[in-house]
Amino acid sequence: MLSIHKCRFSWSLIATIASIVTLVSIVHLFLFPLVPTLDYFRQAQISCIPVNESVDHVKESFIDLDHQFPTDLHNAVVYRGVPWKAEIGRWLSGCDSIAKEVNISEIIGGNACKNDCSGQGVCNHELGKCRCFHGFGGEGCSKKFKLACNYPAVPDFPYGRWVVSICPAHCDTTRAMCFCGEGTKYPNRPLAEACGFQLKSPSEPDGPKLTDWSRPDEDVFTTNGSKIGWCNVDPAEAYANKVKFKEECDCKYDGLLGRFCEIPVLSTCINQCSGNGHCRGGFCQCHTGWYGVDCSVPSVTSSIREWPQWLRPAQVDVPDSLHFKGKLGSLNATVKKKRPLVYVYDLPPDFNSLLLEGRHYKFECVNRIYDENNATVWTEQLYGAQVAIYESILASPHRTLNGQEADFFFVPVLDSCIITRADDAPHLSMEDHRGLRSSLTLEYYKKAYHHISEQYPFWNRSSGRDHIWFFSWDEGACYAPKEIWNSMMLVHWGNTNSKHNHSTTAYWADNWDTIEPSRRGNHSCFDPSKDLVVPAWKRPDANSFSLKLWARPLEQRKTLFYFNGNLGPAYPHGRPESTYSMGIRQKLAEEFGSTPNKEGKLGKQHAEDVIVTALRSEDYHDALASSIFCGVFPGDGWSGRMEDSVLQGCIPVVIQDGIFLPYENVLNYDSFAVRIREDEIPNLINILRAFNQTEVEFKLANVQKIWQRFLYRDSMMLEAERQKAAHSHMEDWAVQFSQMLEDDVFATFLQILHYKLHNDPWRQNVHTNNDKDFGVPRECLAKSK
């Protein structure tokens, strides 16, 4: 029930306000002497919210969750259109649905940094410590590093052994990136990888050219003849076919576009710096008064009218000691919010921004780049889910700056960048990790753990049980360091190791079997009691959604079962390893292959309405939408086949024993999916044909209800709003997705966190403040105390 508070004035109140105005004016005159502002007063006057008053308590009424929310025939309880496991669905229906806003005290930092980070970093005003740009470090970012492009020279390799950054020309040692350099017509043109070195002719007809990493290609620097060197070729002449150039040269680095990197474009930063900074290659250089990985956190010197939506409306308490002996203190702002509340650590940039800045392939570990008009280009990067969730949390009204009020703590280590960039440059070397990207990544997470446990008080009070880490790579959290295993893991690979109890990847560099137990411990890859599998990133396809492929009825789905993908060594271009897909795809093809393998054979049980093929589909989404059942099998660890199936309205058929799929420990999979044991593969089609029409239509209907929960719509709409602000219009994809109002991945994630806050046995030892206002009836709190 809302209460309306009238603002009543008295002479004493007027005097108090005058004092505040004077104080704020002094603060702003000290910081911005030419442009004083009264925003603190204006915002407080508009809000008229009593600082110390909380929202009205939820109306006292007894909630009998078991009787009010009975299960259906599949033992599910539906909440917001989705079949949940019974206990979870009941709690969400009776508690999450009536949760109220509560008053939260947000802390606006004012701590200064040494020398204002020397202009080479961003000050974290909460800690008073700098986040330094690439190539800089030390207190106040006063130390300049020299990040080499090449490993030390040896007799056979004058440029050192191979690394992605290997460079025969000018090395930008702040980022370890290679450019043409002085003496060329285009000194800032990238000279990446094979572009700068000589190529050997293939040893076999139609074989690949091999790069000789010991011999630079001087031709890229030439200015004479019809084949102008890459570093000197004029783009206009090349586009007019007046000159030829080395085909192996292209534009790999972010922030540059065009065949010759001649077009400067936006780089990809977290939330594009929230409009409060400049994206420099992946690192946000924040405007004065702002900080954070995405410049979304205001300091005491920022204007309240510019505060982000997740901090509005706010009642600001300006203390008498805000400005004391030349130093600024902190402000408290009271904001109405719904739980759960998530605190996001502003980690040193080594764990996020520096991994984005200086990457050698612009598509790596991001879900978008920008074209020549700075319009959004969505990527196919499955690991883009990590950036999508990170951005959504940072911009969410469920975010809090007050760790004492937080229900969860998010630790943003971008392992999708660590893995893809492991070979990028010597300073990211895997020399100490025997070439294992899994071992290198473990070390990053361990360093992040040491940072938060030493710099903040929140880890030790719960032993990390209220902390959240994201492991996006193929083997998920299998190689998480033992120190953080108490926390909640967000993964794409929910391997409980109940059957597949070793590393399942076919790619040796990601294998974790040989990581020492002293570092990894002896934990599983996934614990259903505390962890969560989240969907992979899928590129927004406005055409598929406008055609409503996901909504096709049963009568328009003529294929019984469909799978299109790599089927292993028996097929052309198939993965050669027998361990690929744990052998599951190979067994499926052996039984039901619908196109010939290398020996010209079909599967033993091939059927007209069953498609199992390695041939790439001309219209993959339409093929999925024309099928009743679709295969969901592993690749190197997880694959994106579950998302493909659900987003096109096809019933997922999961075959991977002991391995959880997205939301499988919280949603009722019996309502919309089929699980078949690996040893039942030969009987797969008989099992599917045994489902009657009623059951098939029931599952299809549920798939069509849940599909948006596999879509990162929130992240997409954040980008849509940024583009609208920049260009005053919305792209077609943005218009399409703005019309989709059902709960997406992020909304589902928050609902799961809300349930866990009060029901997760794993959290029983978490220190909770009994005075907290949770905004739900006491029956909903029973298991949290």
Q: Answer whether residue 46 shows pLDDT above 90.
A: no
| Half-sphere CA count of 41, side-chain side, radius 13 A | 16
Cβ-proximal residues to 771 (8 Å cutoff; 6+ apart), any chain: none
Which pLDDT tens digit goes with each residue over 60-84? 556 788 888 999 889 999 999 999 9
CB under 8 Å, gap of 24 or more: what pairs does 496-503 form? 496/524, 496/525, 496/526, 496/527, 496/528, 496/658, 496/659, 496/660, 497/524, 497/525, 497/526, 497/658, 498/657, 498/658, 499/657, 499/658, 500/582, 500/657, 500/658, 500/659, 503/438, 503/475, 503/478
Number of domains in the chain: 2
Taking phi over 0 as left and psi of -120 to 50 as alpha, with beta for the rest, 129 belongs to: beta
Torsion from C-alpha of 305, 308, 313, 319, nearest 10 degrees: -70
Taking phi over 0 as left and psi of -120 to 50 as alpha, with beta for the rest, 493 belongs to: beta
Which pLDDT tens digit goes with each residue over 126-176? 999 999 999 999 999 999 999 999 999 999 999 999 999 999 999 999 999
Cβ-proximal residues to 577 (8 Å cutoff; 6+ apart), any chain: 506, 569
Do the domain assignments include residue 218?
no
What CA–CA distance (Å, rounded) separates 653 from 660? 13
pTM for the complete prediction? 0.90
Taking phi over 0 as left and psi of -120 to 50 as alpha, with beta for the rest, 58 belongs to: beta
What CA–CA distance (Å, rounded) separates 125 from 281? 23
Cβ-proximal residues to 515 (8 Å cutoff; 6+ apart), any chain: 436, 438, 439, 442, 479
What CA–CA distance (Å, rounded) separates 470 from 492? 9
Q: Answer whether residue 22 shows pLDDT above 50.
A: no
Final residue of a structural domain among 710, 739, 771: 710
- pLDDT, position 34: 30
Cα angle 44, 47, 53 (rounded to 5 degrees) comes to 95
Cα angle 195, 172, 185 (rounded to 5 degrees) comes to 60
What CA–CA distance (Å, rounded) separates 503 from 140? 43
Do the domain assignments include residue 158?
no
Final residue of a structural domain among 101, 124, 152: 101
> What token pair was written down for 303?
């204007």
Cβ-proximal residues to 759 (8 Å cutoff; 6+ apart), any chain: 87, 88, 91, 783, 784
Which pLDDT tens digit goes with each residue over 318-343? 665 555 444 567 788 999 999 999 99
Span 757-784, average pLDDT: 79
- pLDDT, position 767: 59
Which pLDDT tens digit goes with each residue over 167-223? 999 999 999 999 999 999 999 999 998 999 999 888 777 778 899 999 999 999 988
Do the domain assignments include residue 486?
no
Cβ-proximal residues to 444 (8 Å cutoff; 6+ apart), any chain: 350, 351, 413, 415, 418
- pLDDT, position 783: 59
Do the domain assignments include residue 302?
no
Phi, psi for 369 (deg, rounded to 5): -135, -170
Token look-up 């004083």 returns: 36
What CA–CA distance (Å, rounded) separates 52 from 773? 13
Q: Answer whether residue 488 shows pLDDT above 80.
A: yes
Cβ-proximal residues to 590 (8 Å cutoff; 6+ apart), any chain: 570, 603, 604
Span 430-457, average pLDDT: 94
What CA–CA distance (Å, rounded) separates 353 from 284? 8
What radius of gyration, in Å, describes the C-alpha atoms of the chain?
28
Do the domain assignments include residue 600?
yes
Do the domain assignments include residue 243?
no
Q: Answer whether residue 606 shows pLDDT above 50.
A: yes
Token look-up 């190539």 returns: 135
Final residue of a structural domain among 82, 101, 120: 101
Domain of 674, CATH number, reads: 3.40.50.2000
Helix, strand or coil for residue 332?
strand
From 410, 409, 405, 396, select the one nearest 332 (Cα to Cα).
Answer: 405
Which pLDDT tens digit goes with each residue over 702-750? 999 999 999 999 999 999 999 999 998 888 889 989 988 899 999 999 9
Tell me how far CA of residue 498 lies from CA of 163, 494, 495, 657, 669, in angstroms. 38, 11, 8, 8, 19
- pLDDT, position 35: 33
- pLDDT, position 17: 41
Q: Which residue has the higher pLDDT, 429 or 82?
A: 82
Do the domain assignments include residue 700?
yes
Q: Answer whether residue 781 shows pLDDT above 90.
A: no
Helix, strand or coil for residue 766?
coil
- pLDDT, position 731: 87
Cβ-proximal residues to 685 (8 Å cutoff; 6+ apart), any chain: 560, 561, 592, 605, 607, 610
What CA–CA distance (Å, rounded) separates 591 from 228? 55
From 338, 331, 333, select the one nearest 773 (Cα to Cα).
Answer: 338
Do the domain assignments include residue 126?
no
Residue 74 domain boundaries:
65-101
From 497, 468, 464, 466, select the one nearest 483 (Cα to Cα).
Answer: 464
What CA–CA distance (Å, rounded) separates 105 from 453? 23
| Half-sphere CA count of 533, side-chain side, radius 13 A | 27
User: Amino acid identity of 31?
Assistant: L
Average pLDDT of the residues of the chain: 88
